Amino acid sequence: MSQIVDARPFAYEFAPERAALVVIDMQRDFLEPGGFGETLGNDVGLLAPAIAGTARLLRAARAAGMLIVHTRECHRPDLSDCPPAKRGRGAPSLRIGDVGPMGRILIAGEPGADIIPALAPLAGELVIDKPGKGAFHATDLHALLGARGVTHLLFAGVTTEVCVQTTMREANDRGYDCLLVEDATDSYFPAFKQAVLDMVRAQGAIVGWTADSHQVAAALRA
C-alpha cells in the first residue's frame, strides 16, 4: 500500500515495503568533540539538531517495518582503501588513520567510527562501511537493495552537502526515487545545507524530493 508524503516540490509516493531509510554517517567522528569533524576546524554542535529528526524517522520506519540502512565512512587499518589524495586533503590537526581521543580517525572498528548511541542500529538492520563519500562506491549497497526489491530511498544523516548529497545523486542515477528529510540532515555550513535542499528539488525534483520528519512520520502512520 502506497503512502503519500506532503513533500516539495510535490507529493512523494512510496510503498514502505519497497522503500528503505538510509541513515548516512551519524558517527562519533563527525558529531562529537575530538573526532574528524572537529579536527577540520568545524563546530560539531551544528550537526546536533539532525539527531532528533533522525531518531523520529527511525522510530516511524521501524514501526512501519521498513528496511533500515546505516552507513559509516571508515577505512581499513592499513589504509589500503584510502587514496593518498583523500588523506592528504585539507589541513586538519589529525588526519585519517591518526590516533585521536576516540582512537584512530575514521578507521573501522575504532570507537570514533561507531554510530552515536542515540541512533545505534538494531539487530537485523544493514550497516554499510564505505570508503568514499557515496554509499554506492565500493560497497554492496545497490545489490542488497535490489535483492530486497527496494525502489524508493529516504535519506537522513550528515553532512548534507558531502556524503548525503553524493549518495542521493548516486541513487538517482541508479533509478531510485529519493526523498531527503530536511530536519534529519545537517551541515557544518548551514548555507550549504540550504543549497542542497534547493538543488535536489529544483526543476521538478530533478534529483529528488524534500520533506521534514514529521511529514514522513505522519505518512507512515496513515
pLDDT in tens, 134-188: 999 999 999 999 999 999 999 999 999 999 999 999 999 999 999 999 999 999 9
H or E element in which residue 49 lies: helix 49-63
**Spatial distance between the Cα atoms of 151 and 164, rounded to a whole number of angstroms:** 18
For residue 128, what is its C-alpha cell? 554499510
Type of residue numbered 11 = A
The reported pLDDT for the residue numbered 182 is 98
pLDDT of residue 90: 87
With 90 as the cut, is the pLDDT of residue 98 above it?
Answer: yes
Q: What is the pTM of this model?
A: 0.98
In the predicted structure, residue 1 carries a pLDDT above the cut 90: no
Q: How many CB atoms lie within 10 A of CB 162?
A: 19
Please identify every residue annotated as catalytic.
Answer: 25, 130, 163
pLDDT digits (tens, 9 = 90+) for 181-207: 999 999 999 999 999 999 999 999 999
**23 beta partners:** 70, 156
Report d(CA 214, CA 171) in Å as an integer: 23
What does R_g of the chain's alpha carbons equal in angstroms? 17
The string of DSSP codes covering 66-119 is: -EEEEEEE-B-TT-TTS-HHHHTSS--SS-TTSEEBTEETTBTTSGGGSBPGGG
C-alpha cell at 185: 540532515
Cell, residue 9? 516540490
Query: Over the stretch 15-63, which tens digit does the pLDDT of each residue have?
Result: 999 999 999 999 999 999 999 999 999 999 999 999 999 999 999 999 9
The alpha carbon dihedral of 177, 160, 132, 117 has a sign of negative
